[in-house]
Amino acid sequence: MPLIDIASWGGLHSRLVKRRLLALSTAVIVLAVGGGSGVHAQSFFEGKTLRVVVGFVPGGGFDTYARVISRHMGKHIPGTPTIVVENMPGAGSLIAANHLYRVAKPDGLTIGHFNGGLFLGQVLGQPGVEFDARKFEMIGAAIKEDSVCAMTKASGITSVEKWMAAKTPVKVGGVAPGGSPDSNARVLKAALGLPIQLVSGYKGTAEIRLAASSGELAGACWSWESMRSTWRGALDTGEVVAVLQTSARAFPDLPGVPLALSLAKTEEARQLIKVGIQNPSAFARPFALPPGTPKDRVILLRKAFQETLKDQAFQAEAEKAKLTLEPATAEELEKLIAEVFTLDQTLIAKLKDILYK
């Protein structure tokens, strides 16, 4: 058996110890930089207040969903932060969207909930848009914006046939260019020839409902999920009647109410309804974070949002308030938003003329 020189063995042992210490140090550094970021994100929210900025006035559909979700989401975020809802109405929620993009600190403590139809507005060159939709950090959505046009019984427009036969334009409410009620009205007028006078500038559907109740408007077109929750009493008594569905599919609780697509007489009309109303409905109600929000916090909030929508206490409250749930993940929203930026230029020009002229 060969003999080992003691001095050589000492040098070898020293080198082995140094290598092990170096490997251990490297592992600690990797943990601190990589895995440690998740630990930091989990402790970050403890003792903090998280704001959900809603782009419309209190009492509307966006506000209602945001408040119900906010009452349950905190317990699904590590650190259990307090969550408050703040309303920042104006320009069909464009003020809130611009605020989230340009002003809000990207620290994970400000979530925006605004009209995702503004993403289509960006592609169409809508004035006032100061964001790039592709750079928001999406959290998810609770529902789609499948819309219904509803009119008051007092207006005399209790069916789409009566609407089509109206001798004077029917006044319907809107919020601002790019808002769902506005886009619905403008596209339906162009695609179906419905006699419509759009009265825009209301700060949300809560104000539109009040204007319709007072006789200032005949009605409006916006999310059925929102409408049947916030306008429930008038719908139940027959004071308000659903007359047209703009969605791709009929709602089970609206038998006999026609689909706008079925009334379209040309391929161009069908395309306008699909691209101008139906496609944007999938990303119309996003919850989003400012660009540059740390990825570990984004991931935690996305997970918390989806867990909230499955929470039994949340679902019970949503059912009581008649809030429909049709969730979309952040990844699904990002894919749909990216597709908007690939629209045919001829169709973009046509929609731009309809929605903003």
Chain segment 218-250, per-residue pLDDT in tens: 999 999 988 998 999 999 999 999 999 999 889
Alpha-carbon gap, residue 324 to 7, rounded angstroms: 78
What pLDDT score was predicted for residue 157? 98
Alpha-carbon gap, residue 116 to 143, rounded angstroms: 12
* pLDDT exceeds cutoff 70 at 31: no
Q: How far is CA 223 from CA 64, 127, 146, 256, in A?
A: 13, 24, 5, 18
Q: Which CATH number fits domain 147-280: 3.40.190.10, 3.40.250.10, 3.40.630.30, 3.10.180.10?
A: 3.40.190.10
Please list the residues that pair with 191 across neighbouring strands. Answer: none
Share of residues in the chain with pLDDT > 70 (%) = 89
CATH superfamily of 49-144+282-356: Bordetella uptake gene, domain 1 (3.40.190.150)
Torsion of CA 98, 101, 103, 108, to 10 degrees: 130
pLDDT single digits (tens) 60-112 = 889 999 999 999 999 999 999 999 999 999 999 999 999 999 999 999 999 99
Nearest to 62 by CA among 46, 85, 29: 85
Alpha-carbon gap, residue 10 to 317, rounded angstroms: 72
CA–centroid distance for 143 within its chain: 8
Specify the amino acid at residue 161: E
- Locate the domains of the chain by residue range: 49-144+282-356, 147-280
Average confidence score pLDDT of the chain? 89
pLDDT single digits (tens) 145-192 = 889 999 999 999 999 999 999 999 999 999 998 889 999 999 999 999
Q: Per-residue DSSP letters for 89-126?
A: --GGGHHHHHHHHHTS-SSSSEEEE--THHHHHHHTT-
User: Do the domains spanning 49-144+282-356 and 147-280 agree at the CATH topology level?
Assistant: yes
Q: How far is CA 27 from CA 36, 49, 246, 256, in A?
A: 12, 34, 57, 66
Q: Mark 206-231 as b/e (b = at least 16 C-beta within 10 Å).
A: bbbbebbeeeebbbbbbbbbbbbbbb
pLDDT single digits (tens) 283-292 = 989 999 999 9
Mean pLDDT of 135-143: 97
